Structure 1
Amino acid sequence: MTNIPETGRTSRVQIRLVVIQVLVLSLLGTLGGRLWHLQIREGDAHAEEASGNLVQQVVQPAVRGSILDARGVPLADNETRLVVSASRTDLLKTRDGGKAVLTRLADVLGMTPEEVRKKVRLCDARTPQPCWNGSPYQSIPITDEATAKQALQIRERAEDFPGITAEPQAVRRYPNPGEANSAQVLGYLSPVTDAEIQRAEGSDSPYLRSDQVGRSGLERQYDKQLRGKAGVTRYEVDNLGRVIGQAGSDAAEAGSHLVTSIDARVQRVAEYELNEAMKAARKEWDRNTGERYKADSGAVVVMEARTGRVVAMASNPTYDPNAWVGGISAKDYADLTGKASNYPLLNRAVQGQSAPGSIFKVVPTTAAVNAGHPFDGPYQCSSSYSIGNQVFTNFESEDHGPIGLGRALEVSCDTVFYRLAHEEWKRDGGNKPKKNAEDWFYKTAHQFGLGAKTGIDLPDEVTGRIPDRQWKQDHWEANKDAWCKSGKKDGSYVERIAYENCLEGNRLRAGDSVNYSIGQGDTLVTPVQMATVYAALSNGGTLHRPTVGKAVVSPDGRTVQEIEPESHGRLPMTKQTRDAIDDALAGVVTRGSADWRFVGWPQDRIPLRAKTSTAEVHGKQTTSWFATYTGDYSVVMTISQGGTGSGASAPAVRAIYNALYGVRKDGSIDESRALLPTPQTSLPEVRTDGTIAAPQTERHAPPKRRSPTGEVPSATTGRRD
């Protein structure tokens, strides 16, 4: 056994004590520094934050302003309903996280427990609808259709339903006046998200967690004006949550009303006629594909020609915006967003783009005149036109001989425009373009406002496309790798096209210009763009920014902010050219491709101009277009995979004009039946008490369309275009 000297043992103990003392002093120093930092340096800030914990806010939602038609008929307003809501915060305090409470609630409401639980779960990337995408601290509505008996059960047995409330609330309503749906124009609401709250912080229109915000349509475009300002009452509470006093309050401010240029009666007719036209087209045989037309979607725009204000705008397929009120069900959400439903949330009047076909010919007609070609010609309207080994045929291979541009518009002769476009392409250098090529046909389209947004006051408008030299280059650079990978010189049609595009997809070829001249190829337009163009032809050449909103009116009616029409340029044509085109488009109705649809029309009293179009789309059936105008309105309709313009769309457009002007089957005019023979100019009255002076609306379907002879029109008989 080794003996350790006493002095050595003592030295080691002392060292250990010193180390421990240093550690203790270091810890004390760290804690002291932290306390100084919290209590001295940041004491005021933490004190303010702590005091804030003693104040709780109670929000009184603002009444959202109504959306009115031009006469004051509500298209969207509010109604008082019994709303049953759940507080996630209170439910999570229960032993089972609220499962038992929600099960009992489901039994009272006649719902399944699963339906109720899905309503209160929070949305994230992995959670499908239905779910709650608002703040988790906000009461979540379970149903806004509770009966008085159900509400009484919940309130009388409050101990069985902790965190559940049943109380009357103002709920958004889309009343469909006269069965006018207007879904894509109006849009819908849903709760604000935390991300939106953060983005709006510091702005002049911040969000509260209780807010509902517009998600599409006018509800989104004019959300700030419609939403108003929620009221907030602040209560002082103790550490147990008991109210000990009121710290202040801000009164709620109701949202303003939006008066639109929509006429609910005309809107109903437009929706009905579009739907009927699509149903009629589906009964017709497509001899090109050997099956019936699919007519899977469509749109129609009715626009004031002198102002650009939208009187009616319909998109099909459509939906009921009331489905979103109070939270949308899983089935409804799937129906609205699934491929099988063909995406009814899309407003195809401003978001649907397709090749315009012959209604586009007013553009190359103008371009040809501006490039120096005489309007009267003559130009050879042969049955076909060849460029190298490629043959471009006239529609149905008709040969009209030598004609002028006016007659080419009337009979929709393709080969006249093929020749002019090819000649201009060669004049610009052909395959070796000049440095400063004129490109009249493309430049003129941009001057018509095509290839750009119209600026309509609806969200998510698309631009369409004018496939000029710059677009060709940009498109080639973006797709070259994919084309080179999939293209085959001797493959299928699509593979051969990819092969050619790989090699020279950036070149503006003769075939590109020829197809473009009749609104085919890569050209894309929207119905609202073409309605704007034809409105400009009607009013003498002024291009307007289309508008749906007409005025914003304060809740008491005392402040009115009118939304004035705005022009953004003129059509690039002389008065002489405009008048010549106008006469030709009148000829389309009286002696051209649409005359068989307008037998008996009172042309002497209501001069009507029109252009038919049957646009070809690779892999699909033809798209029907019909573009028209009078001195008051332009009306444009399109039906995807619907057949010909005169066959599918023209009868529906005539029915809309019949309703506007009160035209009978025999061509006589009954002014008492006319819905809107001249555009509405006055604004509806909003009284000081917030009520609106508006006419009553009738719920009825327009009469069945019939031709002047009494026969129901066929979708394809007669001339085609």
Structure 2
Amino acid sequence: MNRIRWLAVTMSVALSVFGARLYDLQVTRHAQFAVQSDNNYQKDAVIRALRGEIRTQDGLLLATNRLAVDLIYTGGPVNSFDKIRYLAGVTPEMLKDGLPIAPDFSKEKEVVLARNIKAENLPALYEFTALQPNLELRERVERIYPQGKLAAHLLGYTREADQSEVQEGYTLGDLVGASGLEYSLQKTLEGRNGVLRSEVTAAGRPQSDRVVDPGKKGSDLVLTIDSTLQRAAEKALQEALPEINAGRAKYNAPPEPLVRGAIIALDPRTGEVLAMASSPTFDPNWFSRTPSPDKKAKANALLSSSLDAVMQNRVVQPYDPGSVFKPSTTLAFVEKWGNRSVQCSPVYHFGGATWKNWAHYSLGTVDARLAIAFSCNPWYYDSAAQNPVAYSNVVSKRIEQLGFGSPTGLELVGEKSGNIPSEGQFSAKSERWYPGFSINMSIGQGDVQVTPAQLALVLNTIINDGRKREFTVLKSEGGKAVPRKPVQDVSGGSTSAFELVKEGMGLTTNNTTRYATAKHILGPNFFPIRTGGKTGTAENALSRRYSYSYTNAFYEGYGPLGSPTFEVVSFFQNGGEGSGPALNAAAKMFAARWCLKLDERHHALPGQTPCLGELSQMHARYGKEAQQEAQAKTATSGQ
């Protein structure tokens, strides 16, 4: 009887354990196993989000997308591999790009068998791979730049997300920006991936598909760039090489193999950049397309030396400015100590040292206006020598207010700030400030470093009588207009010094001003629209070591005088004289803006009618807003 009782107890306990386990599996953990069951026949795939397109303000497509399809081996056995490779269109060129001749079927790993499969091969390949659970035709978004090198440094390029970015939330195969606007505006352009859920058999063969989440396309961008002016800027840079080498030949210097320079042009009324070009340049398609259309060019671009750096956007890199720095130091000096006149002699003596002017003869007596027009170094030497310490501190502080020493507001990560030296800066580092430092600073030499973009910003501030507005390259995002950036009044309460500087820049191109440095190209007898500007020839490390042929060449200009609608800064690293290649490039930009043709001397052909407001609709579009700003400015100044 006891045996029967113990057997009954044992059976009861066993049944209780089985019952509890059954309850746990069927009730307590029902949801968990239901999901696992679904996963046995459901497979999720990524729907790649299309990256936002980028266009110029006049509608030219600069960056777009295309769907590329790759054949992926996901591990395990594969039947009829040779036929699959044939259908995939694998070529010897693809094998050279690192694709495997055959996957290692003994290892469970993912291998790309073919990239960019041709559209005509896809139907047959989709049908064939449907019976091959270890093969996958995977869609990939590829970035395309239809205009090639146009605005390359501004646009930048993309690449596929790496492991570190996958850990941050990206998916393998996602595109991420690597430079330019593609990098700076990654969150705006990237979009959001969707989910495609497929039902598959136990063997992994697909049965049906369902879009769980369609994802979201990235926001489209419309830039402030005008395609006509952008092309003109890039052409002007390349056309300067013969002029640069002709100047170098005068000093028996070897010719340069390529142009290293930059041009930035904008509307001074709005702060909108109309053109931004840098040379040497590159094709963003080299980096975004897989496989690369030109692997050698891509490698050369990435391995360029610091001097030839193809990937470097010279618009936002700092350089010795030379005389294009003078309008700002003139303004700061005149505001603090007033206008003055000096004898513009070939040499200036101070502290036992001799400081030279660019001319080997006297230019007569000059005030601040003519000092700009003639680019008279002795006027600046003498101004700084009166009180070198005070000069450096007053001038450096003032020109930083105008826009030097800080980024310009461009939507580009990596814009450099440059350097504006001063006695205060040196004292903070327990270093001595010598009077000669102030003399060098007065003409944009010594430790002064500014970017072409900063030169354009300070010139813009001067043109607008102390109203400083940060730059932008964005017209709209996702179909919505980008608000204009606010204006900061840095006039200091008076605009008289600004007017004096603008008069001096106007005399730079005045045909009746004897030693004006830009009249031979932009004088009224050579160019029908009156402009103002400043030439600049800056010594740098190479020119101080070797010869004058290595100097940096600058020109900054704007027009029409009285009601400016266009502004440009041109720069050539080791380009010679500012009154040569840089001035000629600026003339080409003025001609492109106002629909003029130039002859071989860079003079406007006679009988032409400038298109002062008809190049595009932007000026008419913003005319009313600009007028309202002018009225507000007048009302404020009258209080």
Residues 448-478 of structure 1, C-alpha deviation per residue, up to 9 Å, x if partnerless? 121111121122111111122454367x6xx
Residue ranges of structure 1 left out of the alignment (5+ in a row): 1-34, 122-135, 202-206, 429-437, 477-503, 555-559, 684-721
Describe the shift of the 1:261–1:142 C-alpha distance in structure 2 as closer, same or farther (beyond 3 A): farther
**2:540 aligned residue:** 617
Q: CA deviation at 1:104?
A: 6.4
**1:214 aligned residue:** 177
**2:588 aligned residue:** 655
Alpha-carbon distance in 2 for matches of 1:45, 1:389: 91
Describe the shift of the 1:650–1:246 C-alpha distance in structure 2 as closer, same or farther (beyond 3 A): closer
Residue ranges of structure 2 left out of the alignment (5+ in a row): 1-20, 544-549, 598-603, 623-639
Alpha-carbon distance in 2 for matches of 1:295, 1:380: 41
Alpha-carbon distance in 1 for matches of 2:327, 2:233: 25
Residue in structure 2 matching 1:258, options 221, 224, 243: 221
Say whether residues 1:628 and 2:557 are aligned partners.
yes
**1:567 aligned residue:** 487
Say whether residues 1:597 and 2:517 are aligned partners.
no
- Secondary structure of 2:571's counterpart equals strand
Q: TM-score, normalised by structure 2?
A: 0.79
**2:342 aligned residue:** 379
Q: CA deviation at 1:242?
A: 5.5
- Secondary structure of 2:576's counterpart equals coil
- Secondary structure of 1:117's counterpart equals coil
Query: How many residues matched?
Result: 570
The 5 Å alignment of 1:309-324 reads 309-324=272-287
Describe the shift of the 1:165–1:93 C-alpha distance in structure 2 as closer, same or farther (beyond 3 A): closer
Residue in structure 2 matching 1:85, options 49, 70, 78: 70
Residues 196-247 of structure 1, C-alpha deviation per residue, up to 9 Å, x if partnerless? 2333x5xxxxx34342122222222222222222221234667654568878
Describe the shift of the 1:392–1:220 C-alpha distance in structure 2 as closer, same or farther (beyond 3 A): same
**1:524 aligned residue:** 449
**1:698 aligned residue:** none
Residue in structure 1 matching 2:315, options 349, 354, 368: 349
Describe the shift of the 1:195–1:120 C-alpha distance in structure 2 as closer, same or farther (beyond 3 A): farther
Say whether residues 1:457 and 2:411 are aligned partners.
yes
Alpha-carbon distance in 2 for matches of 1:289, 1:443: 41
**2:46 aligned residue:** 59
Residues 101-132 of structure 1, C-alpha deviation per residue, up to 9 Å, x if partnerless? 998689733415242338999xxxxxxxxxxx
Describe the shift of the 1:389–1:74 C-alpha distance in structure 2 as closer, same or farther (beyond 3 A): same
Q: TM-score, normalised by structure 1?
A: 0.70
Name which structure has the greater RCO, CA cutoff 8 Å, separation 6+.
Answer: 1
**1:580 aligned residue:** 500
Q: CA deviation at 1:656?
A: 1.2
Query: 2:238·2:259 contact (CA, 8 Å) conserved in 1?
Result: no
**1:267 aligned residue:** 230
Query: 1:302·1:312 contact (CA, 8 Å) conserved in 2?
Result: yes
Describe the shift of the 1:276–1:602 C-alpha distance in structure 2 as closer, same or farther (beyond 3 A): closer
Identity among equivalent pairs (%) = 27
**1:8 aligned residue:** none
Residues 390-446 of structure 1, C-alpha deviation per residue, up to 9 Å, x if partnerless? 221111434223310111111101111111112221557xxxxxxxxx811211121
- Secondary structure of 2:541's counterpart equals coil
Q: CA deviation at 1:93?
A: 3.3
Describe the shift of the 1:63–1:369 C-alpha distance in structure 2 as closer, same or farther (beyond 3 A): same
Residues 342-370 of structure 1, C-alpha deviation per residue, up to 9 Å, x if partnerless? 222221112x2101100100121112112
- Kindly provide the amino acid, as one letter, of the partner of residue 237 in structure 2: L
- Secondary structure of 1:353's counterpart equals coil
Alpha-carbon distance in 2 for matches of 1:308, 1:137: 53
Alpha-carbon distance in 2 for matches of 1:361, 1:569: 21
Residue in structure 2 matching 1:442, options 392, 396, 401: 396
**1:606 aligned residue:** 529
**1:534 aligned residue:** 459
Alpha-carbon distance in 2 for matches of 1:580, 1:154: 74
- Kindly provide the amino acid, as one letter, of the partner of residue 86 in structure 1: L
Describe the shift of the 1:85–1:577 C-alpha distance in structure 2 as closer, same or farther (beyond 3 A): same
Residue in structure 1 matching 2:435, options 501, 510, 513: 510
- Secondary structure of 1:274's counterpart equals helix
Q: CA deviation at 1:529?
A: 0.9
Alpha-carbon distance in 2 for matches of 1:359, 1:52: 70
Residue in structure 2 matching 1:172, options 135, 143, 168: 143
Alpha-carbon distance in 2 for matches of 1:95, 1:619: 62
Query: 1:59·1:210 contact (CA, 8 Å) conserved in 2?
Result: no
- Secondary structure of 1:395's counterpart equals coil
The 5 Å alignment of 1:71-82 reads 71-79=58-66
Alpha-carbon distance in 2 for matches of 1:389, 1:416: 18
Describe the shift of the 1:416–1:671 C-alpha distance in structure 2 as closer, same or farther (beyond 3 A): closer
Alpha-carbon distance in 2 for matches of 1:453, 1:407: 31
**1:335 aligned residue:** 300
Q: Which moved more, 1:674-683 or 1:299-308?
A: 674-683
Describe the shift of the 1:50–1:674 C-alpha distance in structure 2 as closer, same or farther (beyond 3 A): same
